[in-house]
């Protein structure tokens, strides 16, 4: 938009300015200095002409100066009803963990089996869907499968395999969450020294992924990052530093802008963003800046209470559940409700679960309480299944991918039943 400014310089105005002796204006210059500059900028090459019909007055010919002002930004009208409605269609989700996110084997096409899980098949995903899980999260680590900067081209064979597994979920009638995973082990470092490089690689990867899946319908959901954090830092798992949290927010915005720019169904695709480390803590939630986009949700990870769900090395933990710690779950959900849901931002828990401690009944009791609290707030959650059940690792596995059965059928039934009970 352009405006025309008319600058009138008169002899009377000049005389008045000189009489004042020069008063300092907001630019730190005296009014006489400012008048002189205005005079120089607006003088006409023609001599001034006397005004007709008014004795003793004079008129300086006006000169039109065009200045450009930016178009006013349209106010953002928040309406995320479509995002809430889409998520309401999910019962409960399941993670295909330690598969496409496995890393350490380089760009080998068999890297998805490097951490001990079998090659993913359509039959495997069909079995999960048949149990009643109508959503699947597919974690993918791209770091070892992209070319060098500046293009960060994803290797065709890898992207083809990602698409093949996405199609398994779509074919099974599931909602599919596709994310980037374990990238903080490589390049996704949210601090000032690495911010620019992180933005460049994140946007390069998502541009290619978004273009590949542009025509998929709303059953495919993009999740920009998984647990973005500075590994090894003192506050790695405690919400990070304020500057790191802001960088994660800028990465979220870069992800949104990149996907939206690819057009097609990506213009209204549900995009899932996250706070630093997917942390659900008070400071992280309170300070989180919500982007201006109608088709977004925020993802947090909640292994709550930690000392029941995860037996940390050397840490205290308890392996029985009598409901006395249910308040820990409720307290976190109240924060998420205050700082996200009440601000019209849907919340999804893309990772939850409890490790196998040899007491399946206790996990079942916990799961009932956990999911009942989620139901109170309309929050959907995805069990983190890494395929490990009776190993020396983190035993979050509930589905036997080789035999297409559940390690504990009663737990699988409980998860689905609790999620569908209102």
Which residue numbers are catalytic? 227, 351
- Map residue 58 onto helix, strand or coil: strand
For 400, the token pair is 């036997």
Which of 379, 356, 363, 378 is CA-nearest to residue 414?
Answer: 363
Cis peptide bond N-terminal to 150, omega within 30: yes
Considering only CA atoms, which of 290, 375, 398, 302 is closest in space to residue 87? 375
- Distance (Å) of CA 396 to CA 15, 99, 103, 354, 385: 85, 14, 19, 6, 5
Distance CA 376, CA 164 (A): 36
The sign one gets for the Cα dihedral 258, 261, 262, 264 is positive
With H, G, I as helix, E, B as strand and everything else as coil, classify residue 213: coil
User: Helix, strand, or coil here: 271?
Assistant: strand
Mapped onto helix, strand or coil, the DSSP state of residue 352 is strand
Look up residue 399 and give its two tokens: 């589905």
Other Cβ atoms within 10 Å of 314 Cβ, number: 5
């Amino acid at each position: 938009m352009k405006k025309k400014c008319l600058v009138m310089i008169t002899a009377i105005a000049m005389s008045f300015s000189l009489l004042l002796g020069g008063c300092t204006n907001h630019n730190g210059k005296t009014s006489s200095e400012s008048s002189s500059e205005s005079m120089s900028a607006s003088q006409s090459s023609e001599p001034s002409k006397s005004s007709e019909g008014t004795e003793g007055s004079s008129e300086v010919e006006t000169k039109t100066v065009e200045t450009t002002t930016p178009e006013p930004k349209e106010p953002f009208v928040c309406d995320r009803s479509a995002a809430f409605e889409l998520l309401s269609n999910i019962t409960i989700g399941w993670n295909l963990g330690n598969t496409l996110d496995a890393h350490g084997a380089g760009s080998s096409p068999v890297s998805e089996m490097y951490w001990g899980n079998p090659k993913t098949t359509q039959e495997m995903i069909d079995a999960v869907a048949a149990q009643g899980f109508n959503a699947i999260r597919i974690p993918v680590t791209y770091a070892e499968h992209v070319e060098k900067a500046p293009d960060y081209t994803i290797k065709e064979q890898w992207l083809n395999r990602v698409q093949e597994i996405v199609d398994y979920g779509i074919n099974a009638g599931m909602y599919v969450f596709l994310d980037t995973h374990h990238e903080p082990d490589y390049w996704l470092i949210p601090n000032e020294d690495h911010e620019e490089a992180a933005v460049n690689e994140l946007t390069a990867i998502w541009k290619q992924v978004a273009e590949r899946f542009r025509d998929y319908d709303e059953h495919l959901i993009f999740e920009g990052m998984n647990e973005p954090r500075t590994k090894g830092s003192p506050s790695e798992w405690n919400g990070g530093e304020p500057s790191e949290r802001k960088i994660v927010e800028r990465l979220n915005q870069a992800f949104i802008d990149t996907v939206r720019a690819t057009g097609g169904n990506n213009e209204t695709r549900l995009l899932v963003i996250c706070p630093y480390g997917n942390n659900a803590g008070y400071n992280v939630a309170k300070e989180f800046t919500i982007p201006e986009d109608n088709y977004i949700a925020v993802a947090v990870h909640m292994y709550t209470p930690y000392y029941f769900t995860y037996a940390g090395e050397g840490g205290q933990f308890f392996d029985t559940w009598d409901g006395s710690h249910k308040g820990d779950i409720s307290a976190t959900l109240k924060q998420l409700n205050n700082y996200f849901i009440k601000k019209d931002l849907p919340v999804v828990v893309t990772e939850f679960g409890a490790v196998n401690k040899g007491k399946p009944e206790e996990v079942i009791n916990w799961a009932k309480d956990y999911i009942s609290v989620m139901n109170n707030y309309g929050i959907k959650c995805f069990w983190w299944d890494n395929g490990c059940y009776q190993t020396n690792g983190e035993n979050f596995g509930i589905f036997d991918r080789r035999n297409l059965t559940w390690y504990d059928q009663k737990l699988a039934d409980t998860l689905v039943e609790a999620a569908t009970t209102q």
